[in-house]
Amino acid sequence: MAAVAAPPMSSRLRLSAGARAGTDPKGHSGPERKNPDRIGPAEAVSNTASRLIAANATGNGKRANRTASAVAGRATALRYAAWGWPVTPSTALPATADLEQVFATWSRLPDAPILAACGAAFDVIETHVPAGRTALARLDRLGVELGPVTIDPARGRIGFLVRADSAASISALIDRATGPTLIGRGAHFELPRTLDQPEPFRPTAAAGRFWLRPPGTPRPTLPTAHVVLGALALVPHRVPATSPICR
């Protein structure tokens, strides 16, 4: 039987290099191997949020008497922080978007409200419900992409989340007696304690604040203030504006 000659050294080197690069001997690329130790900042935040939210759901057995509302409140606070929204349970404490701090804070104060520091991640434009619903319907007809919208049945107010500081240049033009209210830097806005919207949604005065348009993306996109204010300017204001929640 004739002896089979070994491939030249150069071919063996190419084969070895191809194996290390993830290619077969014919040069076809194989699946790229990811280094598990290399993850981006966004993925790191997502992983941390998922871990803490999972811990929030399972608990450690030491607080069996926690209510479902308290557990949901901490999970929601973690979601807000994961989006980069600084939150605090009280204006006496600094707002933070640090996930570990948020987890620890709402572990100690499970029934505390979730107050967002306006001017950091977003501002809020509040108006009474009839004007807000009319403006919302107008913007929907125009195909305008809006961000999250809250409703507070007890106060009869709708709140549009907008980009932080985007209303600073036009705030002086708003009629404070009849126009919408701007809640910006230095104020706090209480966020809903749940991201879930009841179905069917029938807001009542005792329901607290809910999301009329819940945040629906990994990090909600917010419109500029002039988009919302432009729609509200076309609505006749017959109901006097009330004071916002600024604690």
- DSSP reduced 3-state for 225: helix
Give mean pLDDT, residues 167-189: 83
pLDDT in tens, 7-55: 554 444 343 444 444 444 444 444 444 454 454 555 555 666 666 666 6
Look at residue 207 in the predicted model and tell me its pLDDT.
62
Residues linked to residue 183 through DSSP beta bridges, in sequence order: 124
CB distance 62 to 32 below 8 Å: no
Each residue's pLDDT tens digit, 118-148:
999 999 999 999 999 999 999 999 999 999 9
pLDDT confidence tier of residue 196, bands split at 50, 70 and 90: confident
Element at 16 (helix H, strand E) = helix 9-21
Please give the pLDDT value at position 168.
78
Separation between Cα atoms, residue 135 and residue 142, nearest integer Å: 11
pLDDT of residue 23: 45
Residue 50: what pLDDT?
A: 67
pLDDT at residue 114 is higher than 80 = yes
The rounded Cα 132 to chain-centroid distance in angstroms is 21
Q: Assign residue 43 a region: left if phi > 0, alpha if psi is -120 to 50, beta otherwise?
A: alpha
Q: How confident is the model at residue 244 (pLDDT cuts 50, 70, 90)?
A: very low
With pLDDT > 90 as the criterion, what percentage of the chain qualifies? 49
Residue that has been written with the tokens 């980009």 in this structure: 163
What type of residue is 113? Answer: P
Mean pLDDT, residues 164-178 taken together: 78
In this prediction, residue 79 carries a pLDDT of 95
- Give the chain's mean pLDDT: 77
pLDDT tens per residue across span 50-85 = 666 666 655 544 444 456 777 889 999 999 999 999
Give percent above pLDDT 70 in the chain.
63
Please give the Cα distance from 43 to 129 (Å, whole number). 38
